[in-house]
Amino acid sequence: MTDNTSRIHGTWSSRWTFILAAAGSAIGLGNLWKFPYVAGANGGGAFVLVYLLCIALVGIPVMIAEIMLGRRGRQSPINAMRRVTSEAGLPRFWNSIGWLGVIGALMILSYYAVVAGWALQHIGAALSGDFQGTNALASSQRFAALLGDASSLVLWQSIFMIMTVAVVIGGVVKGLGVAVRVMMPVLLLLLVLLLIFGYREGNFSAGWSFMFNLDFGALTLHGVLVALGHSFFTLSLGMGAIMAYGAYMPDNARIGSTVLMIGGLDTVVSIMAGLVIFPIVFAHPELQPSEGPGLLFVSLPVAFGNMPAGLFFGALFFILVTLAAWSSAISLLEPGVAWLIESKGMSRVTANLSLGLIAWVLGLGTVLSFNAWEDYRLLGFNFFEFLDFITSSVMLPLTGLFIAVFVGWVMKEYIVREELADDSPWMMGIWYPLVRYLSPILVAVVLVAGIYDVLLR
Ligand code: TRP
């Protein structure tokens, strides 16, 4: 490792810290909020299957590749790409992986903070008894009232953005370790409790069949693209986040088994979130699986409002959602910050404040898309949906494609072998063909077909 990097950013104390931090980045609103609502909006089972295939055949291989790039480059994504490209004697075009990453991450962070703000607001709502005895209709109205109130959305969005900036100013290694270590186990435990509640009180069999019965008629080409994009989103791929964390990974840690563990954990959390939410949705005819971005925030209060100690569990749940979002948001800010520090000689504080401000301003667009700008449409999307489409369904697959092609074809094979020296020999046998052939072809085909589908509608 270069002295320079460890001096500026620090290294993870152990492989385990890396796993926790990467899992902290991966597990977030993507699992608890986004996965259930995109699965619901795209008809359930067939979408879930395609999503799982995308994780296994594209997400995991690309994650291995991205960590490898970061560890090899040992700097912020933009400079890591510079270094790896010059090592390979390549044109500067390949640096765009780093660039696209930093810009895309800020775009995602902008709306991420707004949604995390909803979670923050729901902690107080739970504590003040707002969910007590609530029903589906009242819960929908409560959430609609929140969305209609732009100034309160901005308030919560701002608080969350300040929380994120504060941790990244503290430095990722110091700021993160502790939070993740406590949070993950509690989150899993609470999901299990909610699962039991949904099993006993909700319509579990309807929820289960919605998630696992295959109805391919319900899935559009755009839906397939959403599934692919979400497999990148949920694993934090394609935006330099995992690359930046990879830069802090010890040299001798095994990449393959580490990634399998993170990918597995992330998938389990998403599936559990679905199995918590859909049984509740199907127990209440007023709730629809295709509810959209409000799905989590409308359905779960109904459960909390009608279970013993619901006030406590409700508050705890939204605290956990906030923490999960927090540890993910950090990884959206860090790559850009690391780059400004390295290349522009900015201080950590200035870099954070500048990028945080940019993301905050852009986030105002998302806030307004739920009220004042509701009717402005681009390709049929409102501002939030458009931002989500461009980032999740276009930029993430595109950078993912670049990364796969780069590691599979451009990076010298001996370098790849060197990075995998501590991994099992299986890796070269299975992962290498995936990242060279299957992943890039799948991504390219789905990307073109999915965008075509959107432009045609
Ligand atoms: N993976 C996170 C989630 O599921 C979101 C996230 C964090 C992300 N960092 C990222 C998505 C980088 C894409 C790229 O909530």
State residue 33's pLDDT score. 98
For the chain, how are helix, strand and coil distributed in percent, rounded to 5? 80, 0, 20
State residue 12's pLDDT score. 55
Q: Environment class of residue 128 by beta-carbon count within 10 Å: exposed (0-12), middle (13-18) or buried (19+)?
A: exposed
Residue nearest to atom 14 of ligand 1 (CA): 236
179: nearest Cα among 402, 388, 21: 21
CATH fold of the domain at 5-455: Hydantoin permease (1.10.4160)
State residue 176's pLDDT score. 61
Q: Is the pLDDT of residue 449 over 80?
A: yes
DSSP state string for 289-311: TT--TTHHHHHHHHHHHTSTTHH
Residue holding tokens 């990097």? 5
Domain boundaries, the chain: 5-455
Mean pLDDT taken over the chain: 90
Q: Is the pTM of this model over 0.85?
A: yes
- CA–CA separation, 104 vs 110, rounded Å? 10
What pLDDT, in 10s, does the model give residues 178-235?
666 777 788 889 899 999 988 988 999 999 999 999 999 999 999 999 999 999 999 9
Angle value at C-alpha 365, between 23 and 291, nearest 5 degrees: 65
**Confidence category of residue 288, pLDDT binned at 50, 70, 90:** very high
**Confidence category of residue 7, pLDDT binned at 50, 70, 90:** very low
Ligand 1 cavity residues, CB under 6 Å: 25-26, 28-31, 105, 108, 233-234, 236, 238-239, 241, 328, 331-332
State residue 376's pLDDT score. 93
Residue nearest to atom 9 of ligand 1 (CA): 236
How close is the Cα of 327 to the center of ligand 1, in Å? 10
Region 344-355 average pLDDT: 94
How close is the Cα of 236 to the center of ligand 1, in Å? 4
**Confidence category of residue 174, pLDDT binned at 50, 70, 90:** low
Contact by Cβ (8 Å): 31, 270: yes
Nearest-atom number in ligand 1 for the CA of 234 is 4
What does the block give as tokens for 18? 């890396």
Nearest-atom number in ligand 1 for the CA of 266 is 4
Is the model more confident about 102 or about 182? Answer: 102
State residue 4's pLDDT score. 46
Q: Is the pLDDT of residue 84 over 80?
A: no
Give the best-scoring range by mean pLDDT among 84-88, 89-93, 372-376, 408-412. Answer: 372-376
Residue nearest to atom 8 of ligand 1 (CA): 236
Question: Could you tell which of 328, 333, 337, 392 is best to mutate to test the pocket of ligand 1, judged by most ligand atoms within 8 Å of the CB?
Answer: 328
Question: Could you tell which of 259, 323, 332 is best to mutate to test the pocket of ligand 1, judged by most ligand atoms within 8 Å of the CB?
Answer: 332
What pLDDT, in 10s, does the model give residues 291-328?
999 999 999 999 999 888 889 989 999 998 998 999 89
How close is the Cα of 389 to the center of ligand 1, in Å? 14
Residue holding tokens 């270094």? 83
